[in-house]
Amino acid sequence: MVAGNMRAELARHYDLEPSLKAAEATAEIHARLARVMPFADWARHAPYVLAINRLKRDRNAVILAHNYMTPDIFHGVADVVGDSLQLAIKASEVEADVIVQGGVHFMAETSKILNPSKTVLMPDMEAGCSLAESITPEGIAEMRARYPGAPVVSYVNTTAAVKAASDVCCTSSNAAQIVAAMESDTVIMTPDQYLAQNVARQVPQKRVVWWAGACIVHERFTAGDLREFRQYQPDTVIIAHPECTPDVVNEADFSGSTSGIIDYVSKHRPAKAMLVTECSMASNIADALPEVEFVGPCNMCPYMKMITLEKILWSLHTMTTAVEVDPGVAEGARRAVQRMIDLSLKAAK
């Protein structure tokens, strides 16, 4: 649907004009993002937030939102927020009829795989991921031929078909645990070469080999940039996502999944923090941590940013577009994702 047509059609059903009255009615939500969005700006978002939250009740729907969603989505309409692992676990537990995925396509597929009887809606089917696009089941077969007998650990940032061709999945929060739990000395990790190299350092007892994919958001950060930044702001605590290169992770004070990053900053509350990851991360936690000044560069994920309040409203209004996964593929993918969840929960005990 062309943006202009979508807007016109939605305006026939909902009052979506900027409204101070709507902003006042949702002032409690605005208080959670006031540091990053002036009240006048919130007046543009509030009508959408009210319409979506009403429609969610009518449709018996929940919104699962990744930590990279913009603050209006993260604080305004999400029922569950989290990193990839947390969202996958929550998706498997959803009792509502409909899941709207605030995130990218592989996340919606994972929700469908784990809870197949639910309608899983993707507000924009084009919201992909450079990692998921970098590998196919043929690539997995190629790696298996190159390293016979070695298990394949695939990042959840992959298509259902790639998951089905893998032995087990991992996310950034459990990758080292999953690799360590493999019985073989050699472990194949796909498709993120940098996550694999970072894990290889954490699990020296394994020989980790990898596929050469990369995240277009995280590979742009350089260790040189971080060193230069530290020269001028030496008191900054630097926290990097493990999709960054090992050089960048080396320069950081801490590395972890998106929720790991949030937990670390919330616990340590440094005066200055640089989150070497997607830009919405700092925006989403800025109000909860007023004593922390977020400094330095961040990069936007063009795919995550395709998800907007308008598209979420359209998705719930029209009940499109539902994500479907071939049942045979889903069964194989479910085995790999469930094995990951079981190993993570076992390690957490």
Sites of contact with ligand 13P (CB under 6 A)? 67, 83-84, 157, 171-172, 215, 243, 257-258
Phi-psi region of 77 (alpha: psi -120 to 50; beta: other; left: phi over 0): alpha
CB of 278 to ligand SF4, least distance (A): 5
122 interface partner picked from ligand SF4, ligand 13P, none, CB below 5 to 8 A per type: none
- Per CB under 6 A, the segment of 56-64, 123-131, 193-201, 279-287 that binds ligand SF4 is 123-131
136, amino acid identity: T
- Per CB under 6 A, the segment of 8-16, 22-30, 173-181, 300-308 that binds ligand SF4 is 300-308
- Between residues 74 and 303, which has the closer beta carbon with respect to ligand SF4? 303
> Which residue, 126, 128, 137, is CA-closest to 107?
128
303 interface partner picked from ligand SF4, ligand 13P, none, CB below 5 to 8 A per type: ligand SF4
CB of 173 to ligand 13P, least distance (A): 6
- Between residues 22 and 131, which has the closer beta carbon with respect to ligand 13P? 131
110 interface partner picked from ligand SF4, ligand 13P, none, CB below 5 to 8 A per type: none
- Per CB under 6 A, the segment of 38-46, 57-65, 90-98, 209-217 that binds ligand SF4 is 209-217
171 interface partner picked from ligand 13P, ligand SF4, none, CB below 5 to 8 A per type: ligand 13P
- Between residues 177 and 277, which has the closer beta carbon with respect to ligand SF4? 277
C-alpha distances in angstroms, 250 versus 147, 201, 220, 233, 253? 28, 11, 15, 18, 8
Quote the CA–CA distance of 115 and 82 in Å, as a whole number: 18
216 interface partner picked from ligand SF4, ligand 13P, none, CB below 5 to 8 A per type: ligand SF4
Quote the CA–CA distance of 82 and 64 in Å, as a whole number: 8
Among 121, 129, 162, 199, binds ligand SF4 (CB under 6 A): 129
- Between residues 85 and 304, which has the closer beta carbon with respect to ligand SF4? 304
Quote the CA–CA distance of 60 and 95 in Å, as a whole number: 9
130 interface partner picked from ligand 13P, ligand SF4, none, CB below 5 to 8 A per type: ligand SF4
- Count of other CB atoms within 10 angstroms of residue 229: 18
Edge-to-edge strands, sheet with 152-155 = 168-170, 152-155, 186-190, 207-210
Among 72, 124, 167, 278, binds ligand SF4 (CB under 6 A): 278
Q: What is the DSSP string of 314-332?
A: HHHHHT-PBP---HHHHHH
Rounded to 5°, the CA angle 237-240-243 comes to 175
- Between residues 34 and 216, which has the closer beta carbon with respect to ligand SF4? 216
Quote the CA–CA distance of 205 and 227 in Å, as a whole number: 30
Site for ligand SF4 in 221-260 (CB under 6 A): 243
In the block, tokens 């939250």 appear at 53
Quote the CA–CA distance of 207 and 216 in Å, as a whole number: 26
β pairing state of 254-255 and 207-210: unpaired
Binding site for ligand SF4 (CB under 6 A): 104, 129-131, 157, 215-217, 243, 278, 301, 303-304
